[in-house]
Amino acid sequence: MKILFFASLRERLATGEETWDELDGIATVADVLEKLKSRPSPWPEALQGKVMMAVNQEMANADTPVSENDEVAFFPPVTGG
Amino acid sequence: MNIDIRVQQEDFSLGQEYDRIRTDKTQVGAICCFSGLVRDFGDNEGVIGLELEHYPGMTEKALHEIASQACNKWPLDSVLIIHRVGALKLADQIVLTIVSSAHRQAAFAAGEFIMDYLKISAPFWKKELHHKGGHWVEQKDSDVTKLEDWKTPKGP
């Protein structure tokens, strides 16, 4: 599974991308988020509050299912235009 | 129905795009254009430029989806959305939408609809640059509540 971070979240986490080979029972976006939040600082703080999520480049929510070959992204509310 | 989506670093010419759309077909009676520019204030005063980040791949899909929704709602002839990314200076163009239709009401409404949805669902992020550094722009509550207007059916 490929996991992407953008904008202020990417800067706070000091990474834009990582890959997970083993999913270990992860079934939804919420599971991915919980696993990321269980890491040491700055992960829990950065992922608190309003975080938008996408699966395979479509807007998703916490309940959206995920599997091995998916691309999951987390980012702050968008501000284009 | 012609949907044209472009995400690019380069600048664009409203005049060129307008002329192309105008001369393309003869059933078009109205063309509505919107361009968004970099201004010198935002969340803070003293903005000297912008840095625009996006999610390559998803951005194009999201813009295409918004344009398709507009085409389903109004009788449109064409929708063009150009959005720039990367480093932009004050007064630079950020975004261009051009909607053509047989009728002006459809063109006006669809143009506004597209910009309202772009603000909420297209993965772009603006960083305002100041002399002392940068500041990621916060999403405005008013942009979120504005979408409710499109979801609530209008009375007679």
Q: Which domains does chain B have, with CATH numbers?
A: 2-133 (3.90.1170.40)
Domain hosting A13: range is: 2-75
Does residue A81 belong to any structural domain of this protein? no
Does residue A12 belong to any structural domain of this protein? yes
CB atoms B123 and A78 under 8 Å: yes
CB atoms A76 and B139 under 8 Å: yes
Q: Which of B81, B153, B67 is nearest to B113 (CA)?
A: B67
Instruction: Name the minimum distance, in Å, from the CA of A34 to any CA of chain B.
Output: 23
pLDDT in tens, chain B (156 residues): 799 999 999 999 999 999 999 987 788 999 999 999 999 988 888 999 999 999 999 999 999 999 999 999 999 999 999 999 999 999 999 999 999 999 999 999 999 999 999 999 999 999 999 998 999 999 999 999 988 889 887 655
CATH code of A66's domain: 3.10.20.30
Cβ atoms of A13 and A42 within 8 Å: the answer is yes
CB atoms A80 and B118 under 8 Å: yes
The DSSP string of A4-48 is EE-HHHHHHHT-SEEE-S--TT--BHHHHHHHHHTSSTTHHHHTS
CB atoms B55 and A8 under 8 Å: no
Does residue A59 belong to any structural domain of this protein? yes
DSSP code of B83? E
Q: The pTM is what?
A: 0.94
Does residue A80 belong to any structural domain of this protein? no
Is A20's Cβ below 8 Å from some Cβ in B? no
Is A61's Cβ below 8 Å from some Cβ in B? no
Tally of structural domains, chain A? 1
